[in-house]
Structure 1
Amino acid sequence: MIVDPERVAAVVREIADEEVGKRFGKLQAGEIDTKSGPNDYVTLADRAAETKLERALSDIYPAAGFIGEESAAADPAIVDALHGDGSFWIVDPLDGTRNFVQGRKEFGSIIALVEDGELRQGWIYAIPDGKFAIGSVGDGVIWDGDKLGPLPSAAGRLKGSRAIGNIDDKWKPTIVANLRSRLETESIPCAAYSYLGLLQGKRDFALYSRCSPWDHVAGILMLREIGGEARYIDKNEPYSPPVSQGRPMLVAGSQDRYRRVCDQLLGGIAEP
């Protein structure tokens, strides 16, 4: 099923602006908490936005289940449903919470709809900018009202982003050494803005080692719609929504970018 993308965008904008945007720079100490570690923040804004988004999205598509980042933090087993059939909303109410807490204007809301394991629709809302990327399978991607097309071929040294702190030790020495010597990268503090940069050609690729569905499903669907690629490069497997920990996943805005980065990271692997 494909839902009305503009209807979803309208409710996401309303809730994110109210529960997240209006709290930016105004959080009290008691409204900030941590989860898995001292830098893994969760705030009143995350929780309030997720609660409202669950209600609003369920009204739009009642038959779809709901998997939110904060719900999954409380009960990780809910993500296992993605291994089976059915439709699910996958939601990160506030991506880039650390930026949000520390006063940096790169944070957003990420929404995706999957059906029987297939990526169907995605929304990325850049809250500080008030701009949306919206994608539906087979229908392309809209960014701030304009349709995005395939990226032109990349010339020169490829530039990308990385979040590889959890990468498996089997892959770490080769990948880290090749990233440093062959490619130009920066860290990823916010998946929403990382994917928006890839869609616009501001960055050529991103490399991840911890792949939670609420961070990746929407952005990967959109990249595929403009001719990009997302694969686990350890076994050359296409990305799928369940959580992956430790495996290196490469995403790129075009097939040529993907192949070039693979060549430089691993000395070449089978083409997608």
Structure 2
Amino acid sequence: MRIDPAAVSAIVREVVDSEILPRFQRLEQSQIHTKSAPGDLVTEADLEAEAALSRRLTSLLPGSRVVGEEGVYRDAAVLEALRDRAPVWVIDPVDGTGNFVRGNPRFACIVALVQDGITRMGWIDSCVERETVLAVAGQGVYGPSGDRIHLHTSTPAPAPRLPGLCGQVGGQAIRRALKPCVRKVDWVGSAAQTYLDLLGGRIDFAAFSRLNVWDHAAGVLMVREAGGIAALGDRRPYSPLMRSEPSPLVLAPDPGMWDELAGRIEAAGADAPAAGMHPQ
């Protein structure tokens, strides 16, 4: 499988420019629909962008398949493609649809390439900023300027560090567990933007209770390629084959910080990591 990451970046940007940005802050009510719950939205931009990305990416890599958020909503059996040998494009056309609908620029387009249950490449396009971060397994993660990204701890090393940390989490149980012991815990409504904030050093950590593959396959690869720790609270490594898991996904720049965060989540009853083992 030979794919030029820059070619995929170009396709993503072209679809963002043709299907997503022209609809931003211009949506009519008839272009917004509810899926499983009142806050679970899909727009014409989501649907058209996923369709365009599916066509162009499968043409770029003949024999590949697609697992897209909107396609999975229509038919959950689509997820089984991840267990096949064929390469799979995992697509979240507009991550942060709620923000998109409200006119908030904190949304992004995510694409990952998965084969044999392993994320091989990943892209996050921060649409309004017109910036793309990409990662290739074993070769690093790169910012919009082409510079390699490395995660660095922004707080002093001596424990305990939790009182000085700022992070973003998805999930009320994790928020309740961490809010009393960190400086700030927030949520921006987009997993992609949280990954970009972590990679950009704007936050110290992140955690998620939901493991939708389109939200995390690309971002976890990026964090790992940047030298960070991305694992479930029970210390199992994240896999794009995971679906509903009792343990949250915890991300930090180093094992010490990860241990402190996972330990606090465990103490609050939101997870139960095993002792004496560092995740990879």
TM-score, length-scaled by structure 2? 0.89
Give the secondary structure class of the aligned counterpart of 1:207: strand
**Cα separation, 1, equivalents of 2:48 and 2:191:** 20
Q: How far is 1:245 from its partner?
A: 4.6
Unaligned runs of 5+ in 1: 166-171
**Cα separation, 1, equivalents of 2:39 and 2:245:** 18
Equivalent position of 2:278 in the other structure: 271
> Partner letter of residue 104 of structure 1?
N
**Cα separation, 2, equivalents of 1:151 and 1:212:** 24
Q: How far is 1:182 from its partner?
A: 1.1
Equivalent position of 2:197 in the other structure: 197
| 8 A Cα contact 1:46 1:93, kept in partner | yes
Give the secondary structure class of the aligned counterpart of 1:122: strand
**Cα separation, 2, equivalents of 1:108 and 1:152:** 24
**Cα separation, 1, equivalents of 2:239 and 2:41:** 26
> Partner letter of residue 64 of structure 2?
A
Q: How far is 1:138 from its partner?
A: 1.3
**Aligned counterparts, 1:159-198, within 5 A:** 159-165=166-172, 172=173, 175=174, 177-183=176-182, 184-198=184-198
**Cα separation, 1, equivalents of 2:2 and 2:259:** 31
> Partner letter of residue 140 of structure 2?
G
Percent identity of the aligned residues?
A: 37
Aligned residue-pair number: 263
Give the secondary structure class of the aligned counterpart of 2:63: coil
Q: How far is 1:253 from its partner?
A: 3.2
Moved more, 122-131 or 202-211: 202-211
**Cα separation, 1, equivalents of 2:246 and 2:189:** 18
> Partner letter of residue 83 of structure 1?
R
**Cα separation, 1, equivalents of 2:77 and 2:36:** 16
Equivalent position of 1:51 in the other structure: 51
**Aligned counterparts, 1:1-272, within 5 A:** 1-155=1-155, 156=161, 157-165=164-172, 172=173, 175=174, 177-183=176-182, 184-233=184-233, 235-242=234-241, 243-266=243-266, 269=275, 270-272=277-279
Unaligned runs of 5+ in 2: 156-160, 268-272
| 8 A Cα contact 1:87 1:114, kept in partner | yes
Q: How far is 1:189 from its partner?
A: 0.2
Moved more, 28-37 or 252-261: 252-261
> Partner letter of residue 180 of structure 2?
S
Give the secondary structure class of the aligned counterpart of 1:223: helix
| 8 A Cα contact 2:169 2:175, kept in partner | no
**Cα separation, 1, equivalents of 2:88 and 2:94:** 18
Q: How far is 1:187 from its partner?
A: 1.7
Give the secondary structure class of the aligned counterpart of 1:63: coil
| 8 A Cα contact 2:207 2:249, kept in partner | yes
| 8 A Cα contact 1:140 1:147, kept in partner | no
Give the secondary structure class of the aligned counterpart of 1:161: strand
Deviations 1:104-139 (A, max 9, x none): 011110000011011100000000000000110111
Between structures 1 and 2, the one with greater strand share? 1
TM-score, length-scaled by structure 1? 0.91
